[in-house]
Amino acid sequence: MTDEELHHFEDASLLCEPHIHNEGRPITTLNVVDFYKEVAPTLQETLWLCLWQSQNETCVALFNPILSEEGICYTFNMLDRGEIFTNEVYHNKEFQKVNEDSKGWNLENGYEDSENLYSFPKRALTAGAKAGLTIVIKSFIQHQDFICRGPVQGFKVSLHNPGEIPRVGNQFFRAPLNQEIIVAIKPDMITTSSGLKDYDPHRRGCYFAKERQLRYFKEYTQQNCDIECQTNITYSLCGCVSFYMPHGESTPICGSGSNRCVTDAQLKMVSDTSGNFSCDCLPACTTLTYNAETSQAEFNWRDVFIAFNADPDEFPGIQITRLRFLFKEMQFLTSERHELYGMVDFMANVGGLLGLFVGFSFISIIEPFYFLTLRLWVNLKKYGRHYWSASEELLENDTYHHP
């Protein structure tokens, strides 16, 4: 290989399993992202058809490129990088302002009162397939590689809230080739009562949005905190960060020669018991996750081509997958953290118990002594003489009658 080809090979190996190639430069350059953008399939080459709420939309208008541990991915309905990251994060020119402006939307407070139903982030107006998102994705057999990522081919899909960076390599479901997948989504939202704001976050078990400021992210979420923590640990142990991690323009980027160190840093984060790499990434007090139920069937796209008098071999080696995303139900239930016993509840319970015990002590306990002592003595003094006199009279006047 030439030096340029060798550098490209090392950069490409960063997208593969860590054991594939551990040799090479320990530090690479920011040009690695430009290289990925150059060799990756474009959005037009990947997404063939996009429908949003049963309306034809250009995929370019709905999807935007994002950098992940899997390389270049495409995301729908995610906040712009400028609304997610702070000014300390270097923005590659390929990922500059590409999304719509959310005009102040955040997970804790939602949309502004002045926003209408068609504001950004986009929202489905009802449940069911007609109000959802449908995409047709294509791939080619000649583009598949069975060494870099192993024997399973297809697409990885990750569901996340608009303010989070997706962890495509960690949390995903797979969309196989030549299949149609129906994804029925049911949100799971947890909020926190404002009455808990005076509690310590560790006692409460979560952080409110403004309670903890991250270095690289404008809004706190547990996943954003984990990413930042992983970045800090990697930089501390390896002297560099992975290409997909948030970083400054002058921060060194780990090359293939640092693969072992980067893997060790990931293990340190989850297995450290000494407290040296404590992340303290509690959940956010308002969290939104998506539970997905998937079903799939054979996607007979070749028969469809033939039915429309089109040649299915017009695109040699093409593989097509269709995905339908829809909300399963019209409503969903939220859970709320709140205090089990507040100060008012505590005082009310203490007052009730004190009232019970005070009443029992001074009334119920004294009454038996009263009836057995003072009341008995008064009755004997008041009625005792007449009782005995009457008894003696009855005995003197008593006569017995015999048959």
Task: Give, as one character, the DSSP assignment of residue 198.
Answer: T
Instruction: Give the closest residue to 145 by CA, choosing from 35, 9, 278.
Output: 9
Q: What pLDDT is attached to residue 400?
A: 44
Q: What pLDDT is attached to residue 396?
A: 53
Q: What pLDDT is attached to residue 291?
A: 92
Tokens of 293: 């139920």
Q: What pLDDT is attached to residue 50?
A: 95
Quick check: helix, strand or coil at residue 191?
A: strand
> In sequence order, what are the beta bridge partners of 117?
none
Calpha distance 48→73 (Å, rounded): 15
pLDDT values of the chain reduced to their tens digit, one per residue, 403 residues: 898 899 999 999 999 988 888 888 999 988 899 899 998 888 999 999 999 998 888 999 999 989 999 999 999 999 988 889 998 998 766 665 667 788 888 888 889 888 888 889 998 889 998 899 999 999 999 888 888 888 888 999 999 999 888 889 888 999 999 999 999 999 999 999 888 888 899 988 999 988 899 999 998 999 999 999 999 999 999 999 999 999 988 899 999 999 999 999 988 888 776 666 778 899 999 999 999 999 999 999 999 989 999 888 888 999 999 999 999 998 888 899 888 777 777 777 777 766 666 655 556 667 777 777 777 777 777 766 555 555 555 445 554 444 4
Q: What is the dihedral of CA 255, 139, 44, 173, to 10 degrees?
A: -70
| Domains of the chain in sequence order | 40-221+284-337 (2.60.470.10), 346-395 (no CATH)
> In sequence order, what are the beta bridge partners of 179?
298
pTM: 0.80
3-state secondary structure 4-62: HHHHHHHHHHCCCCCCCCCCCCCEECCHHHHHHHHHCCCHHHHEEEEEECCEEECHHHH
Phi first, then psi: give them for residue 33, nearest 5 degrees.
-70, -40
Tokens of 27: 């530090």
